[in-house]
């Protein structure tokens, strides 16, 4: 229900500002959630059968061709954020940390979609659907990237923890 009627220029500026505040707030909130809540085997984060170990994201969306273009928000918060763009250390501890941060990133992007309705306070009702569309387009690729990478990293963790004596390389 539209409450505020602002000039068009101010409304556009407010849209950009509100999205920025939403994304930064959700990111900051999720960054401070306990690691124990970011279990890759929990209901929200576990890989579903239909995902085929993440392969569905390659088969349908060709994720390997564009995921490198996605921003890495882990570097945004210098003291607490973790980068997820490239794995530099393949130790079991680092791979497990990656799993936790992947869950955190996925949750962040799911939660960033939900407040699209806030725009109904200052946009016409028909425009709120554009905000939902924007939220989905901006966040689902990031969710897909986390859901694509996590099963692959789980396989790496398994290889690190159970090395094959015939093939000493993990990759």
pLDDT digits (tens, 9 = 90+) for 91-132: 888 999 999 999 999 999 999 999 999 998 989 888 899 999
Closest CA to 143 of 30, 35, 17: 30
> Domain for residue 41, yes or no?
no
In a domain, 43, yes or no: no
pLDDT tens readout for residues 31-47: 999 999 999 999 999 99
- Residue 163, pLDDT score: 77
Q: What is d(CA 26, CA 41) in angstroms, rounded to the nearest whole number?
A: 22
For residue 164, the cross-strand partners are 167
Does 116 reside within a domain? yes
Q: Is residue 39 part of a domain?
A: no
**87 lies in a domain?**
yes
Domain count, the chain: 1
Per-residue pLDDT, averaged over 10-17, amounts to 89
Residue 25 is assigned to a structural domain of this protein = yes
pTM recorded for the entire structure: 0.85
What is the length of the chain? 171
Contact 150, 143 (CB under 8 A): no
Buried b (16+ CB within 10 A) or exposed e, 47-56: beeebeebeb
Task: Note whether residue 171 is domain-resident.
Answer: no
Range of the domain at 115: 8-33+49-161
């Amino acid at each position: 229900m539209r409450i505020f009627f602002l000039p068009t220029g101010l409304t556009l500026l407010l849209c950009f500002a509100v999205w920025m505040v939403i994304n930064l707030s959700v990111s900051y909130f999720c960054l401070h959630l306990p690691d124990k809540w970011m279990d890759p085997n929990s209901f929200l984060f576990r890989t579903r059968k239909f995902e085929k170990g993440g392969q569905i994201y390659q088969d349908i969306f060709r994720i390997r061709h564009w995921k490198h273009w996605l921003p890495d928000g882990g570097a945004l918060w210098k003291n607490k954020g973790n980068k997820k763009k490239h794995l530099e250390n393949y130790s079991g501890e680092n791979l497990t940390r990656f799993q936790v941060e992947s869950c955190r990133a996925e949750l962040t992007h799911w939660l960033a979609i939900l407040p699209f309705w806030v725009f109904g306070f200052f946009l016409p009702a028909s425009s709120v659907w554009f905000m939902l569309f924007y939220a989905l387009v901006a966040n689902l690729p990031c969710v897909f990237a986390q859901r694509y990478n996590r099963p692959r990293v789980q396989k790496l963790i398994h290889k690190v923890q159970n090395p094959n004596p015939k093939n000493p390389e993990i990759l």
